[in-house]
Structure 1
């Protein structure tokens, strides 16, 4: 197995995209640590017994991020996945304070954790070195009116990733981003179930469907595999062709 013995940290790994990526790494032989917002694995309906669990109540909380970094131990692969749309919890991202929270969560928090783990990632003995994979979205590539803060954070993630690739390549670290299309998760399902919401996405997508969380797992594993050991600073769209449709 390609990832046998690899030590993987996935933020937001209890459900949705993070859970699918965690399951794929575990199935491929990796030792997987996930973070979640609740006190422990018993607080979730999902079976998390295959993973080590660390609480990370918020990607806005610098002290909580630093605690995870201090606790996790050695890491070969970091998946910066945790986050959410503020709109999904009824907040207006055009309000400056909410906008700042969204950017802090998706960009500053991801950088803080990456920075804290830099030396350990650089010490990885895996072919291709340590790996940081950020989870972006179509809001990294397009303007989306409803989520300016989320979009700013996810767009900033592309620039941050390129900068880390340039600066940290000499330290044995590769950094890339998965820019995801519309993926059906617990967070997006209410919107997708709303009459008329999903159809425009499907119509624009050459592959003709909404993505599933499992569609994101293979690309994540590829970017941390030996086959991708000469790939860094790149954005891989996992969107069924949405971003190339004219």
Structure 2
């Protein structure tokens, strides 16, 4: 019963596919009503959840526009009457050597991966403080710990996600709100397609993963349900690696 999310409402961003889609479906499977927010359509996610009788509503929004986040959050509140769980998953990546990384690429990544995450968490935090409880889960990365190659903006944003998670946990844990993050390892999604297409890079990555395989978005379902449920009520400011053992090597 500790993992049962019946009666809870989850706002999940970046739900058109990949990790966000899997987490939205996983939370719905655990009983939560889901508000799916994405810049592109989440038709597959909606169809999957409704296919097993789950409750889901879809909102379309450009989350990189900080000025529009309050309206998005108000819309989300109206879907099921409140928000108990926020999953900050929406993100983007721009690949270019640091010496050639454009200001626009840098700004686009920071706007979506960091700024929208903080301001949406701020809105959710105020709502949850008034209710006396809530769960905020942000999607970090292996690049919350490492520097990566050709992704300086993404690396900066994901280091910041880990820091913001700890900062918010410090302030809100005493108010009944758990703020944590998940750091996925190398997961087979659109974002990692260029790495998997590079034979040498793909092999080097696989050789370091003790599990011997790339992760799938479904590997994030269980950890997300755990952090969204009462089973994690004494977890605060933690970044949970779901990486097939990558960080252990």
So what's the TM-score if we normalise by structure 2? 0.88
- Tell me if structure 2 keeps the 8 A contact 1:191–1:197: yes
Rounded to whole Å, the distance in 2 between the matches of 1:169 and 1:93 is 41
**CA 1:93/1:229 → structure 2, altered by over 3 Å: closer, same or farther?**
farther
Q: Secondary structure at the match of 2:190?
A: coil
Question: Between Structure 1 and Structure 2, how many residues are aligned?
Answer: 236
Partner of 1:55 in structure 2?
A: 60
Which aligned runs of 4 or more in structure 1 are off by greater than 3 angstroms?
90-93
Rounded to whole Å, the distance in 2 between the matches of 1:156 and 1:223 is 20
So what's the TM-score if we normalise by structure 1? 0.89
Task: Name the stretch that deviates more: 76-85 or 184-193.
Answer: 184-193
Stretches of structure 2 that go unaligned for 5 or more consecutive residues are: 51-55
Deviation at 1:190, TM superposition (A): 4.5
Rounded to whole Å, the distance in 2 between the matches of 1:209 and 1:47 is 25
Rounded to whole Å, the distance in 1 between the matches of 2:167 and 2:16 is 29
- Tell me if structure 2 keeps the 8 A contact 1:93–1:99: no
Map 1:39-188 onto structure 2 (within 5 A): 44=43, 46=44, 48-49=46-47, 50=50, 51-57=56-62, 59-73=63-77, 74-87=82-95, 94-124=101-131, 129-188=133-192
- Quote the RMSD (CA, aligned, Å): 2.1
Deviation at 1:11, TM superposition (A): 0.3
Q: Please state which structure has a larger fraction of its residues in helix.
A: 2
Rounded to whole Å, the distance in 1 between the matches of 2:224 and 2:98 is 30
**CA 1:5/1:227 → structure 2, altered by over 3 Å: closer, same or farther?**
same
Rounded to whole Å, the distance in 1 between the matches of 2:36 and 2:131 is 19
